Chains A and B, each alone.
Chain A
């Protein structure tokens, strides 16, 4: 492992087309390629975070100061969904972005988090905040067999293994009575924070979750931004670009592949726990393959291994169906046009911009 760092640095320097001066500029100041430091219209990460935080707080508490309600609860509900999906998309980014393997089973980890929290709260009365890490550790353990299979097979074969993994877990959830069968577990208690119920924060009761999710997404974005520039991140890049070369450079590919799966499962499970607390019930619906495909398309449409892309992709793919849904009600269609359009979007994006909206052009 000693040579690992130097090896991966040299390797990725060639692959990522880092400016030439980086090679001479060895230690501290590792100048990153343009674009990575720009978050939103060229602003830095800190500015984006503060701007987004102010915007979010304004949305949350504007109604407390105005006599009439300006922002409907529905908008806040969609925002919470967007952020939960953003957590999922960022989590999947470790597998589908960094090590470049397609997974269609990540709803399973979402579901493990959700069911873990629900079961722990319901049957053992555990505190909600404690269930999050416990469920996440269970999900990380469950990711190990999947990671082990990723060491043996890849590409189309891994896709179908992950898909099968998710489906099998869904059947387990449907067929286990203590998990509530196909109707799931209703009536999960609302968690409290500092003695205040989460549903009592702010005018509509969704503000607590909105802030919680926002903080997690921001933390994840920061974490991933750092990991990309770390030794681990370079090892991921080396494995993605050329696994055989990575092994030849002395990178412990098995370790890093397992690591990517475990981190990914851990993050997706957190999203599941929050989803349960927010909607106060859990059902096998969370585990469907449609859900997995949706998370994957968020990453792909947004741009693989682009943090900004995953967040914005999640937002786009959550808001669009809601718009189309209201359109359907407005003109009285007998079917939901969203899925038809969703398929077309995927085909067109792949044709026009295979790297996704916010992805790197080298990624196509």
Chain B
């Protein structure tokens, strides 16, 4: 019974990881850069949501506006960080180091502006425990905040999936993740596609940040670990697969909660990396990923 309760508690956190992971995987699939700044977009999104909520905005508009801000930040990062390197064709190592540098810059810049003190969101969602099922005198519950987060995550993912499958831009993105050059020959504007990719990635990261803010206190350093866990989830689920990211995120969220509940809280953060390393060694393409061919 405790076990099932821990699993339920892990789902919301898992949903948040999934959102972060999709941001990583879309950018990696299309631009081919390990966008290390994604954790920082997530952090800035959380701060945007915090200030909007403090100003008295209701939760849903604050979430949407934060997502917009997150998109803007991600597009700015691409414009000033990656685009010049892409133009020179020096994306491989230089792109990665640029991402590291930008991420450090944003993290410590935010640290200077917002101060390192943790901040808590005002009560934007009424907290209450909703009973699901009663077995043998014990009741399984889910908190209203977790339920909101899960519902929000699912909604965002369904919308994203529809966008990718049904719209011409979405289809172009899918094609771009397979062969950018050929797509360019077909007359698609690759720069616009890349900007759209970054916008989506930023919006999802910011949404994850706002969601996490409703559960935990936020601070400028929060992006470092969460960002990397997102990448771990993206690998776990398989690069380029949205469903994979969702499953991977839920697995990680649940695994972390179980580790904290039954093994040791000290190893809670390590479990994600252990799972990721194991998956990469056994099945490098992840649970649902397809193979990225090495160019010969």
**Which A residues have a C-beta under 8 Å from some C-beta of B?**
102, 148-149, 152-153, 156-157, 159-161, 163-165, 167-168, 171-172, 174-175, 244, 289, 293, 296-297, 300, 334-337, 339-340, 342-347, 349-351, 354, 364
Contact = CB atoms under 8 A, between A and B. Distances in A.
Interface stretch (B159-167, B172-180, B189-197, B262-270): B262-270
Contacts of A364: 90, 94
Given A160-B276, A335-B108, A343-B106, A174 B100 contact: no
Interface string B89-104: 0100110111011111
B231 interface: yes
A157 B273 contact: no
A254 to B, nearest CB: 15
A344 B107 CA distance: 12
B105 interface: yes
Interface string B225-245: 000100110010000000000
B112 A335 contact: yes
Interface stretch (B8-16, B47-55, B126-134, B277-285): B277-285
Given A335-B112, A340-B108, A347-B105, 19 more contacts: A102-B93, A152-B280, A160-B228, A164-B276, A167-B269, A167-B270, A168-B273, A296-B100, A334-B115, A335-B108, A337-B112, A339-B104, A339-B105, A342-B108, A343-B102, A347-B102, A351-B98, A354-B94, A364-B94
A364 B85 CA distance: 11
A340 B284 contact: no
Contact of B84 (A152, A157, A159, A351): A351
Given A340-B105, A340-B108, A347-B101, A175 B266 contact: yes
B117 to A, nearest CB: 12
A350 B36 CA distance: 15
User: What are the nearest 4 A-B pairs in CB distance?
Assistant: A346-B101, A343-B105, A164-B273, A343-B104
- Residue with the highest number of chain A CB atoms closer than 10 Å, among B81, B97, B276: B97
Contacts of B105: 339-340, 342-344, 347
A247 to B, nearest CB: 11
A175 B94 contact: no
A315 B269 CA distance: 33
A165 B277 contact: yes
Contacts of B269: 167, 171
Contacts of A296: 100
Contacts of B235: 157, 160
A49 B267 CA distance: 47
B296 interface: yes
Nearest to A160: B231
- Residue with the highest number of chain A CB atoms closer than 10 Å, among B98, B103, B109: B98
- Residue with the highest number of chain A CB atoms closer than 10 Å, among B28, B103, B266: B266
A339 B281 CA distance: 34
Contacts of A102: 93, 96
A350 B103 contact: no
A159 B267 CA distance: 21
B246 interface: no
B57 interface: no
B133 to A, nearest CB: 35
Given A159-B34, A175-B264, A347-B101, A339 B90 contact: no
Contact of B100 (A149, A164, A297): A297
B3 to A, nearest CB: 23
B24 to A, nearest CB: 10
B111 interface: yes
Interface string B271-295: 0011011001100100000000000
A105 to B, nearest CB: 10
Given A168-B270, A346-B101, A354-B94, A153 B284 contact: yes
Nearest to B104: A343
Given A160-B235, A354-B94, A339 B267 contact: no
A158 to B, nearest CB: 9
Given A149-B280, A152-B281, A244-B296, A168 B98 contact: no
A126 B224 CA distance: 38
Contact of B97 (A163, A164, A336, A346): A346
